[in-house]
Amino acid sequence: MNYNDRPYYNELPYDPSDVDIRQQTFTVGYIVDMIYHGEIELWREKDYQRKIGSWSKNQKSRLIESLIMRIPLPIFYFDGSERPWKVVDGLHRLTTLHGFIVHNDFTLHDLEYLKDLEGYNFSELPFQYQRVIQQSQIQAYVINPGTPDKVKLNIFQRINTGGSSLSRQEIRNAYYRGVPADYLDTLSTLNEFLRATQNKFSEKKMKNKEAVLRFFAFYKFLDDYAPPMEKFLDFAMEEIYRTDPAELQDIKYRFANSMWACNRLFNENAFYYLNRNGHREGNNINIALFETWAVNLARLSENELDKIVNSKNLIIPDFLMLLQDLEFNRSFTSSTSGRRAVQIRFQHISYLIQHTLNAY
């Protein structure tokens, strides 16, 4: 499927009549039992940047205290369209409840009112309190089977853009579990990528995974690109599901070779804005330069890559001159996600590479 052929490339991402969500009441004991038997999946840490154990002991204890005091918890959201259910909102609360009830993994601490219960784990609590916790009711919205993927992703994104919001890439990684998330993890931990970028793309907010997703997206769908960038990356993440495993392996191989070549060409200055003397300006990698060099070099054969690396004394001076070109400069420093800006920077670097190969 081409990017511009996707069925939701309209003002509205989907038909509102496709939204199919039910409201349901569960007991805490029932939900914990579903988790225990694998019917609800608590996401793996590498799929979800907010680590599942990141709540403090005080936060966990206050949650349990609320249940004992019969204070309703905020509503939960589940994607119940397939098994196991995905947690859309409520991960920390569910992890806390499962850990406390099933594993006795913390004792109550710094309670506001029930001070006499401090120091107890679940199995040590008096039976009446255990029963209150397990029989407490929680309200949940559950996405029903048959709901289109584009609807589920949009719901997922909207619910997870609150006060302690996830980044767009964290949402993608959590929603597109399995092959897409694992593939980005593989690319973002390649030694060639880490060396070329000096590990400057932070794991926080999954900046490293977003960088390699941008590479994949432009490698596969450059000619179809149209803003907004975030929708383009959403599409590319989903397309990883539909890409043949042999092609994914080839793209990984080409990405590694591209990163190797960038490291050989620029050393510690790869993907930075450079002045006319070749000195780095600024402390941050320019993501637009990264994706442009990465994709253009990945399209070359091994023999052509060797020629480019061996022509470092030719291509680097020409690149420094290109950086002084106002149109090219603007393509990676302002309005970088515009279609015209993307075309300009990719075309200029492609021409620079071909000119160098012709002069070899």
pLDDT at res. 97:
96
Q: Could you tell me the pLDDT band of residue 163, with boundaries at 50, 70 and 90?
A: very low
Q: Residue 176 contacts by C-beta under 8 Å, 6 or more apart in sequence?
A: 237, 238, 240, 241
Pairing, β 85-89 against β 40-41: parallel
CA angle 42, 85, 189 (to 5 degrees): 50
Tens digits of residue pLDDT in 289-325? 999 999 999 999 999 999 999 999 999 999 999 999 9
pLDDT at res. 3:
65
Residue 288 contacts residue 307 (beta carbons within 8 Å): no
Across the range 142-155, mean pLDDT stands at 86
Across the range 350-358, mean pLDDT stands at 96
Domain definitions of the chain by residue range? 20-146, 179-359
Side-chain-side CA neighbours of 203 within 13 Å: the count stands at: 13
C-alpha span between 13 and 15 (Å, rounded): 7
Q: Could you tell me the pLDDT band of residue 142, with boundaries at 50, 70 and 90?
A: very high
Neighbours of 132 (CB within 10 A): 16
- For the cut 70, the answer to whether the pLDDT of residue 164 exceeds it is no
Amino acid code (one letter) for 209: K
CA-nearest of 305, 292, 295 to 264 is: 305
pLDDT at res. 47:
54
DSSP assigned state of 275: -
Across the range 116-130, mean pLDDT stands at 96
Pairing, β 85-89 against β 76-79: antiparallel
pLDDT at res. 11:
55
Pairing, β 76-79 against β 137-143: parallel
pLDDT at res. 170:
86
DSSP assigned state of 94: H
pTM summary value: 0.75
